[in-house]
Amino acid sequence: MNVPEKYREYDELLKSKLDEYRYIHSLGVAKSARHLAELYGSDPEKAYFAGLMHDVMKNAAPEEQLQMIKKADIILSSSERLNRKLWHAIAGAAFLKLELNITDPDIIGAVRWHTTGKANMTTLEKVIYLADYIEPNRDFDGVEDLRRVVWEDLDRGLAMGLAMTVEEMKERGNPVHHNTLEALEYLRGHNHE
């Protein structure tokens, strides 16, 4: 009903793998990603699909996530191994590649980097990172400000989203992943003109 007919089998898969909260969030990310892609010149269909699938491994048991990562021959860095919140993005990208035979590197990258971001992101990667942050079901202090900036300017929105994550991690006493810091530094280095 909610998801276009051509994605029906993926919709069924998500319904079987995700709890209701995460499923509804995924639909929100898909729709926001499509709108952002239309606005910022990325492929709207790829954006919808990547948004739909970005959290596909989020509700899987940690052991299952690690298994999927191992199956894809990915070796986690020590900082990634220590933070299991980061696993679902890596495992999700591996799942798309290995189980769904998705070969588009931009779609795989968008899922892979949706939690931390990284330096020099593609437009699709930025779109998924931010759609995850501002989809309509998100409700946290500052989300309205972030939405406004994201709809005005993708890179300023990205810098704001990344900075909010850094602040949040500091408040919670969690280590900030180096990819998140590198994403911010990269944007700062490219914003002097």
Binding site for ligand DGI (CB under 6 A): 55, 58, 83, 85, 89, 114-116, 132, 165, 169, 174-177, 180
What, of Fe ion, ligand DGI, none, does residue 4 touch, CB below 5 to 8 Å by kind? none
Size of the site for Fe ion (CB under 5 A): 2
What, of Fe ion, ligand DGI, none, does residue 43 touch, CB below 5 to 8 Å by kind? none
Q: Which span sits near Fe ion by CB under 5 A: 69-77, 119-127, 131-139, 174-182?
A: 131-139
User: How many alpha carbons fall within 13 Å on the CB side of residue 127?
Assistant: 30
What, of Fe ion, ligand DGI, none, does residue 97 touch, CB below 5 to 8 Å by kind? none
Q: For residue 15, which of 31, 5, 27, 29 has the smallest C-alpha distance?
A: 27
Q: Which of 43, 47, 52, 55 binds Fe ion (CB under 5 A)?
A: 55
Nearer to ligand DGI, 24 or 176 (CB): 176
Cα 32 to Cα 55: distance, rounded to the nearest angstrom: 15
What, of ligand DGI, Fe ion, none, does residue 180 touch, CB below 5 to 8 Å by kind? ligand DGI
Nearer to ligand DGI, 76 or 176 (CB): 176
CB of 25 to ligand DGI, least distance (A): 6
The tokens describing 145, both together, are 């400000």
Which residue has the closest beta carbon to ligand DGI?
177
CA 4 to mean position of chain CA atoms: 21
Residue 125 lies near Fe ion (rule: CB under 5 A)? no
Nearer to ligand DGI, 46 or 177 (CB): 177
Cβ(129)–Cβ(40) under 8 Å? no
Contact partners, residue 97, CB within 8 Å, separation at least 6:
72, 103, 108
What, of Fe ion, ligand DGI, none, does residue 159 touch, CB below 5 to 8 Å by kind? none
Cβ(44)–Cβ(82) under 8 Å? no
Q: For residue 47, which of 63, 34, 66, 28 has the smallest C-alpha distance?
A: 34
Local structure of residue 19 (DSSP, 8 states): -
For residue 77, which phi and psi values (nearest 5 degrees)? -70, 165
- Judged by the rule CB under 5 A, the positions of this chain that interact with Fe ion are 55, 132
